[in-house]
Amino acid sequence: MVVDPEHWREDCPLKGSTPGHVFPGIVFLAIGVWWTVKVSYRIINTESEGENQKLATLCQRSRKFGAEFWEGLVFVVLSIIGIVGVQSYPNMKWNLFNSTDATNRVFVHTKEWQHCTIFAFFGIFGFVLILSRTVMTGLRRYEMFFAALAFFVEGMVFYFHLQGRVVGTEGDHVTHTMFVLTGLMTSGFTLVEVWMPSDNLLKFIRSGATIVQGTWFFQIAYMLSGQTFEKCAPWEDTMPNFMFVTMVFFWHIAASIIIIAVIFGTVSLCQRKVMKRNGTVKLWGVDDKMKAMDEESTVKLLSDEP
């Protein structure tokens, strides 16, 4: 069996579609932001003790199975929506090969099945999260392995997504290569979390890399599908454009760092307001430390008096 090149030309337009890039961009950006919020909250809540237990207890009661259960459910639902959407819009593409000629079958709709493969592995990751928070708690130590596997599949599929294409541009290859590097980098750092689950830096790197994937999808839509934007055209294959693209990629990384910093600061301020409402202003144990220092200074001063 071989891939039908004529079908590839017709069914895989060079520049894709803006919705096809924007929708996964929104999903990845939302996931990255959510992971950043979750990590920020847990860091602040872990370092804050005493009065913060009221806030932690309240949050635990608000979710029966924990945040990861609902996170996994979202992954599963989005994966199903992605698979059904890709295979059904704008027409049905559920057949994997052309069955009209039994003696000379060829693979068809390979682009759609590649996307479905990516969605399926993220759905598997979501299913593992659900199981680990309900009936198979032993799976918790393997959660990040399945996340790393999903990102690895994403990177490898997109890498071969461009190999051997009949039509293509240098801009198409450059932008997607950047995306492949981001996906594989995310997979690598996520895999390290399997052995270092308490390292918050790795969690922030995973969150930031996921945000970069989301924003880079928007960049791809802007560059390669520009004809769908008002008064905008796809970028031409020129050396200045290539040099600018590589520079913009690192701007996206810098933007993700800023986003993480803003989210962490916002979560910190929100928690501080909640604690004030509960009658305490302690943040990360700073107030207790200051109080202890004041008491120690007072005791020392009194002991020095004649």
Summarize pLDDT for 75-124 with one digit per residue, the tens: 999 889 888 887 777 677 777 667 666 666 777 777 778 888 888 999 99
Report the pLDDT value the prediction gives residue 12, as an integer from 0 to 100: 40
Q: Measuring CA to CA, which residue among 225, 165, 258, 264 is closest to residue 16?
A: 225
183-186 long-range contacts, CB within 8 A, separation 24+: 183/151, 183/152, 183/154, 183/155, 183/158, 183/213, 184/151, 184/152, 184/155, 184/156, 185/209, 186/151, 186/155, 186/210, 186/213
Contact 184, 155 (CB under 8 A): yes
pLDDT for the residue 10: 39
- Its pTM stands at 0.76
**If you search the block for the tokens 């071969």, which residue do you land on?**
160
CA torsion sign for 294, 299, 300, 304 is positive
161 exposure class (CB count in 10 Å sphere: 0-12, 13-18, 19+): middle
Using omega within 30 degrees of 0 as the cis cutoff, is the peptide bond preceding 90 cis?
yes
What confidence category does residue 303 fall into, taking pLDDT thresholds of 50, 70 and 90? low
- Token pair recorded at residue 5: 């090149």
Q: Which two tokens stand for residue 16?
A: 């894709």
Q: Go through the chain and tell me how many residues it has.
A: 306
Mean pLDDT of the chain: 75
DSSP 3-state of 109: coil
